[in-house]
């Protein structure tokens, strides 16, 4: 992997950086550059370390020190190291997950980078996720799509096609139920999968801005617009769209229902493709579509959890840090670090190339060109931790006991008033 990375990135990275308006000969940057990473799993760690090594080759007068911290430990340590002895670059996450550090003045405003044409034009789909108070506070380096993965052979057997609107979506579902199957498998034992359903139903019913207003605590859970999201959800519940007893399954434990043909689809992230293939489904049986429109007046927005790089406000080498961020998001680097041998996810740069994998290609096209409504981060990233935990518990309860909706929404509204006070 290392030699492949050097061949494609070290040779091309200089071109990408020069296009961003930075120093071309690599000798203008000097001093120390401290980079903190939470990519502790073997493959992401190797990818990040190889990328950093190639950046170092372009900038030989720069002394780069890399520290890798276990991801869970990183989450508890980040505020301390940003406050006490900040590195020059640090990994983190987009949207609401970066908000506490933005509001505490611990992340650098990098709106100047987002004004550069290379970034402004090619990273447009992720700009919203990096924006707080009309400023940008970091850059993304990888994301992955969510959507509906479905059994194409079952759709063909029933004479169904990919739905383009809510009525077609429900009609397909009814036909699947009538055939003795559930429309969707889901394992909600660990709650977050139900959060994915709320995200898409709310994004399609009320739009990205409304969804983000909810995440910011500016919308009451008892609002009629929120109730409409749950009304749409209940249509699916009442027709028997979801596999029974889903509250007893993890997301992996719910996969066999789709593999065995008992369920026709799964609303899930692209990480589900590998285990579905490993379980025996072929690409002739498995396909993907974008969650369809519900409200025709609402632009389509997507869930695409995004990992990010930031410059701490206490960094000592901000010039080199900015150059590193330019390097990370350049098209050639994005192509390489996200390929199947490395992160195996989607490049954030629309000018990048994607591995010859049909699901990655469909996701890349969807996020780069067909998500005009914006990119959300997923419920438990967009909403504060306490609000997210209580709400996802409510979502699971609603899916099992939909008649409890009033109690659930009143309870969540009480939590909102406490969390955002």
Identify the pLDDT of residue 8: 36
Token pair 């034992």 in the structure block, residue: 189
Q: Which of 4-13, 142-151, 225-234, 370-379 has the lowest mean pLDDT?
A: 4-13
29 pLDDT more than 80:
yes
Confidence of residue 128 (pLDDT cuts 50, 70, 90): confident
Among candidate residues 172, 184, 230, the one with its CA nearest the CA of residue 206: 230
Share of the chain above pLDDT 70, in %: 94
Identify the pLDDT of residue 79: 95
11 pLDDT more than 60:
no
Label each residue of 47-114 as H, E or C: HHHHHHHHHHHHCCCEEEEEEECCHHHHHHHHHHHHHHCCCCEEEEECHHHCHHHHHCCCECCCHHHH
9 pLDDT more than 90:
no
Q: Checking DSSP bridges between strand 31-37 and strand 89-93, what pairing results, if any?
A: parallel
Q: Which own/partner contact pairs does 23-27 have at CB distance under 8 Å and 24+ positions apart?
A: 23/323, 26/58, 26/59, 26/60, 26/61, 27/59, 27/60, 27/61
pTM as predicted: 0.83
Average pLDDT over the chain, rounded to an integer: 91
Average pLDDT for 388-413 = 98
Please report how many Cα atoms fall inside a 13 Å half-sphere around the Cα of residue 252, on the Cβ side. Answer: 5
Residue-wise pLDDT tens digits, 37-73: 999 989 899 999 999 999 999 999 999 999 999 988 9
Token pair 């709650």 in the structure block, residue: 191
Question: Which domains are seen in the chain, by residue range?
Answer: 2-144+305-352 (3.40.190.10), 146-303+377-419 (3.40.190.10)
**What is d(CA 396, CA 14) in angstroms, rounded to the nearest whole number?**
50
Confidence of residue 378 (pLDDT cuts 50, 70, 90): very high
End-to-end CA distance of the chain: 50
Residue-wise pLDDT tens digits, 252-286: 999 999 999 999 999 999 989 989 999 999 999 99
Among candidate residues 337, 316, 255, 264, the one with its CA nearest the CA of residue 52: 337
Token pair 């609000």 in the structure block, residue: 387
């Amino acid at each position: 992997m290392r030699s492949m990375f050097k061949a494609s990135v070290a040779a091309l990275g200089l071109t990408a950086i020069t296009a961003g308006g930075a120093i071309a000969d690599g000798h203008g940057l000097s001093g120390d550059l401290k980079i903190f990473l939470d990519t502790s799993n073997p493959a992401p760690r190797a990818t990040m370390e190889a990328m950093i090594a190639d950046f170092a080759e372009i900038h030989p007068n720069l002394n780069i020190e890399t520290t890798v911290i276990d991801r869970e430990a990183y989450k508890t340590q980040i505020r301390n190291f940003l406050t006490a002895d900040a590195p020059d670059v640090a990994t983190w996450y987009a949207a609401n997950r970066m908000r506490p550090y933005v509001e505490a003045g611990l992340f650098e405003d990098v709106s100047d980078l987002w004004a550069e044409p290379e970034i402004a034009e090619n990273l447009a789909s992720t700009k919203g996720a990096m924006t707080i108070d009309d400023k940008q506070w970091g850059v993304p380096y990888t994301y992955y799509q969510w959507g509906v993965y479905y059994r194409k052979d079952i759709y063909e057997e029933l004479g169904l096609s990919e739905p383009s609107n809510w009525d077609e979506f429900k009609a397909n579902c009814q036909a699947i139920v009538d055939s003795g199957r559930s429309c969707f498998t889901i394992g909600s034992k660990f709650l977050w999968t139900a959060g994915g359903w709320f995200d898409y139903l709310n994004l399609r019913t009320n739009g990205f801005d409304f969804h983000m207003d909810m995440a910011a605590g500016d919308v009451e859970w008892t609002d009629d617009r929120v109730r409409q999201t749950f009304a749409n959800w209940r249509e699916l519940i009442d027709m028997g769209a979801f596999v029974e007893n889903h509250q007893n399954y993890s997301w992996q434990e719910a996969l066999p229902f789709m593999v065995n043909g008992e369920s026709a689809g799964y609303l899930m992230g692209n990480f589900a493709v590998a285990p579905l293939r490993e379980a025996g489904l072929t690409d002739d049986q498995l396909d993907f579509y974008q969650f369809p429109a519900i409200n025709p007046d609402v632009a389509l927005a997507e869930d695409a959890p995004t990992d990010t790089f930031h410059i701490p406000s206490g960094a000592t080498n901000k010039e080199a840090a900015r150059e590193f961020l330019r390097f990370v998001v350049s098209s050639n680097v994005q192509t390489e670090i996200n390929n199947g041998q490395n992160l195996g996810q989607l490049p954030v740069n629309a000018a990048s190339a994607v591995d010859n994998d049909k699901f990655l290609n469909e996701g890349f096209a969807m996020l780069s060109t067909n998500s005009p409504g914006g990119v959300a981060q997923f419920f438990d990233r967009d909403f504060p931790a306490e609000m997210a935990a209580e709400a996802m518990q409510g979502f699971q309860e609603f899916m099992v006991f939909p008649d409890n909706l009033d109690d659930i929404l009143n309870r969540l509204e009480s939590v909102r008033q406490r969390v955002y006070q």
